[in-house]
Amino acid sequence: MIRDATPDDELAIASVHLEARSAGYGHFLDAAYVASLTLEACVGLWRTLLARSDRRTVVAEVDAEVLGFAHFGYPADGPKPSEQAGILRFIYVLPEHLGTDVGASLLASAEEGLAAQGFYTAFLGVYEENRRARASTSGTAGHMTASDGRSFGASP
């Protein structure tokens, strides 16, 4: 089931974020860098993100377990006219649920949500080396902008 996240989901989302990040980025990013985001910091990040009125977060949940999430909406520099692209800021799925319909369902939900916010296109920053995420998202959620990673690390 895909549903909107609530503030009560911050720990579950942060846990998925850390686990999926480690599994997804561990083979091309410095291990120390990947490990540098602590659970405490990640929970704090999600407390902030879940409070944003210009973004939405949806979670994929089965048997009360959050298996993945997507976070999308207006770009970082504030509300834009509807013809501008929105941002799919995060889409993460637990490693053991990759290759199932969880990722595709989250992506479809994010696309629907972005369209409901008035966006016709969206962009998602994906590391060049992140072949799986690039393959799973390109061509679906509007125009995806690839990045070599240097632009990452800024606050969302």
Ligand X SMILES: CC(C)(COP(=O)(O)OP(=O)(O)OC[C@H]1O[C@@H](n2cnc3c(N)ncnc32)[C@H](O)[C@@H]1OP(=O)(O)O)[C@@H](O)C(=O)NCCC(=O)NCCS
Least distance CB 32 / ligand X (angstroms): 19
Question: Within 13 A of 155's CA, how many CA atoms are on the CB side?
Answer: 8
Alpha helices per DSSP H over the chain: 10-25, 31-35, 39-50, 101-116, 131-137
Nearer to ligand X, 109 or 130 (CB): 130
Least distance CB 14 / ligand X (angstroms): 14
How many Cβ atoms sit within 10 Å of the Cβ of residue 38?
11
Nearer to ligand X, 82 or 152 (CB): 152
Strand order in the sheet with 2-4: 2-4, 55-62, 65-73, 86-93, 122-123
Q: Which residues would be at the binding site for ligand X (CB under 6 A)?
A: 20, 24, 90-93, 98-99, 103-104, 126, 130-133, 135-136
Nearer to ligand X, 44 or 99 (CB): 99
Least distance CB 19 / ligand X (angstroms): 10
Specify whether the CB–CB gap between 103 and 76 falls below 8 A. Answer: no
Q: Which residue is nearest to ligand X (CB)?
A: 103
What letter represents residue 79's amino acid?
P
Least distance CB 49 / ligand X (angstroms): 13
Nearer to ligand X, 85 or 98 (CB): 98
